[in-house]
C-alpha cells in the first residue's frame, strides 16, 4: 500500500519508518527497494485484505490522478466486512485498477461489495487482449452519442472473463507507458464495456483518460450505463419491429408458395 498511519496521519513509505495499517491496525514496514514501487507491507503476514494486489507503476500512475484523500479508501460494509478500495471519490464512486488475474467469482464479490464501482483493467498484461480489440473493434458501430458504440459480438473485442460484469469495465491498452500524440485510438482512449446488452449487442464507450478523471470529480457515475443501454435496447427493438412489418408488407401478390419445402437431394448411386 502507498499509505499507512503514523500518529493517525496517512504517510508514504520511507526508509526506517514504521506505521499501522489503516485497514486492520497492525504494524507495517516500509519497503523502499529499487525493484518495486516504494510501499508499505504488513509485518510477517501477507495482507489483511485478500483482495489487495501488489501495486505496479501502472497502479500508482492511475491513483496519482486523484486526490490523496480518495486513494486507498477503507470501505466498511454494514456487516463490518472491510476492504481497501483503490480510489473512492467524494461522490462515493469506487474505482478499482486491476492488473493481475482476477477469478470471476472474486470479481463478482467485489461488484457486490461496492455498490457504485467501475473497473479500469490493464489491457497490456495479456498479449492477446490488444490485438483482439484491434480486430474486433473494426465491428464497432456508432450511435447518436459521440464516443458510444454497439458491437454485435462483444466477445470478439474483450477478454472472456470480463464479458458479464455488473460494473462498467474500462480497458487501458496503453499501460504505464506515456501515450504518444500520434498513437492509435486503441491506445489514446480507454475502451469500456457497459454492463448488460442492448438486444444482444454490447455497448462500448471510448473515453479519454482525462475525461474519466474529470467525470469522477464531477459526478457520482462516469456515465449512466443503465440508461444508455436501455435507450439503445429500445432503438434496436424498434428497428427489429419495423423490419418485420416491412417484411410482412412486401410479399403482396408474390407470396411464398406453400407446400414447397426444401428436400435434401437424393444421393446418386454410383454403381
Ligand atoms: Zn492490514
Strands (E), the chain: 3-6, 9-12, 18-20, 27-31, 39-42, 71-76, 82-88, 94-98, 117-122, 141-142, 148-151, 169-172, 189-193, 202-208
Q: Are 257 and 225 in contact (CB under 8 A)?
A: no
Distance 180 CA to ligand 1 centre (A): 39
As a whole number, the mean pLDDT across the chain is 91
By the CB criterion, residues less than 5 angstroms from ion ligand 1 are 21, 23-24, 48
> What pLDDT does residue 252 have?
60
- As given in the structure block, the three cell numbers for residue 91 are 461522490
Position 51 scores a pLDDT of 87
C-alpha span between 12 and 217 (Å, rounded): 23
pLDDT of residue 247: 86
Q: Write down the pTM of the prediction.
A: 0.86
SS3 content of the chain, % helix, strand, coil (to 5): 30, 25, 45
C-alpha of residue 54 to centroid of ligand 1, in Å = 14
pLDDT above 90 for 94: yes
Band (267; pLDDT cuts 50, 70, 90) = low
pLDDT of 260 above 70: no
Q: Please give the distance, rounded to the nearest whole angstrom, from the Cα atom of residue 12 to the centre of ligand 1.
A: 15
Distance 18 CA to ligand 1 centre (A): 13
Report how far ligand 1's centroid is from the alpha carbon of 78 (Å): 19
pLDDT digits (tens, 9 = 90+) for 191-235: 999 999 999 999 999 999 999 999 999 999 999 999 999 999 999
Give 43 or 68, the one with higher predicted confidence: 68
Check residues 170 and 252 and name the one with the higher pLDDT: 170
For the four alpha carbons of 51, 55, 61 and 65, in that order, the dihedral sign comes to positive
* CB 42, CB 50: distance < 8 Å: no
> Looking at residues 157-167, what average pLDDT do you find?
96
Residue with the bigger pLDDT between 219 and 265: it is 219
Per-residue pLDDT band for 190 (boundaries 50, 70, 90) equals very high
Q: What is the pLDDT of residue 122?
A: 96
Q: State CA 100 to chain mean position distance.
A: 13
Residue 52 near residue 1, CB atoms below 8 Å: yes
Which of 5-14, 48-57, 111-120 has the weakest average pLDDT?
Answer: 48-57
CA 161-126-193 angle, 5° bins: 45
- Alpha carbon of 13 to ligand 1 centroid (Å): 15
> How far, in Å, CA of 256 to CA of 254, rounded?
7
Distance 25 CA to ligand 1 centre (A): 6
In the reported structure, the alpha carbon of residue 128 is separated from the centroid of ligand 1 by a whole-number distance in angstroms of: 35
Ligand 1 geometric centre to CA of 178 (Å): 33
Over its C-alpha atoms, the chain yields an Rg (Å, rounded) of 25
Which one is predicted more confidently, 48 or 203?
A: 203
Q: How far is the CA of 44 from the centre of ligand 1 (A)?
A: 11
46-59 burial, b at 16+ Cβ within 10 Å, e below that, comes to ebbbeebbebbebb
Euclidean distance between CA atoms 40 and 3, whole angstroms: 7
CA 73 to ligand 1 center in whole angstroms: 12
- The span from the CA of 203 to the CA of 157, in Å, is 11
Burial-class residue 80 by CB neighbours within 10 Å (0-12, 13-18, 19+). Answer: exposed
Amino acid at each position: 500500500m502507498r499509505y499507512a498511519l503514523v500518529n493517525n496521519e496517512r504517510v508514504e513509505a520511507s526508509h526506517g519508518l514504521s506505521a499501522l495499517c489503516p485497514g486492520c491496525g497492525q504494524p507495517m514496514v516500509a519497503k523502499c527497494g529499487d525493484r518495486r514501487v516504494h510501499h508499505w507491507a504488513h509485518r510477517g503476514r501477507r495482507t489483511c485484505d485478500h483482495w489487495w494486489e501488489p501495486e505496479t507503476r501502472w497502479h500508482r500512475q492511475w491513483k496519482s490522478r486523484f486526490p490523496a484523500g480518495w486513494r486507498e479508501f477503507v470501505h466498511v460494509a454494514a456487516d463490518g466486512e472491510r476492504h481497501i478500495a483503490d480510489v473512492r471519490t467524494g461522490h462515493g464512486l469506487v474505482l478499482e485498477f486491476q492488473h493481475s488475474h482476477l477469478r470471476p467469482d472474486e470479481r463478482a464479490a467485489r461488484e457486490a461489495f461496492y455498490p457504485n464501482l467501475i473497473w479500469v483493467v490493464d489491457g497490456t498484461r495479456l498479449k492477446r487482449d490488444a490485438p483482439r480489440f484491434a480486430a474486433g473493434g473494426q465491428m464497432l458501430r456508432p450511435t447518436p452519442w459521440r464516443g458510444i458504440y454497439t458491437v454485435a459480438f462483444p466477445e470478439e473485442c474483450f477478454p472472456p472473463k470480463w464479458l458479464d460484469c455488473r460494473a462498467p469495465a474500462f480497458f487501458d491498452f496503453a499501460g504505464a507507458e506515456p501515450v504518444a500524440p500520434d498513437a492509435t485510438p486503441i491506445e489514446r482512449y480507454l475502451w469500456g464495456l457497459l454492463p448488460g446488452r442492448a438486444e444482444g449487442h454490447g455497448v462500448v464507450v471510448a473515453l479519454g483518460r482525462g475525461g474519466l478523471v474529470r467525470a469522477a470529480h464531477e459526478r457520482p457515475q462516469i456515465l449512466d450505463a443503465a440508461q444508455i443501454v436501455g435507450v439503445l435496447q429500445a432503438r434496436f427493438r424498434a428497428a427489429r419491429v419495423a423490419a418485420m412489418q416491412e417484411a410482412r408488407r412486401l410479399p403482396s401478390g408474390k407470396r411464398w408458395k406453400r407446400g414447397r419445402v426444401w428436400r435434401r437431394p437424393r444421393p446418386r448411386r454410383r454403381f
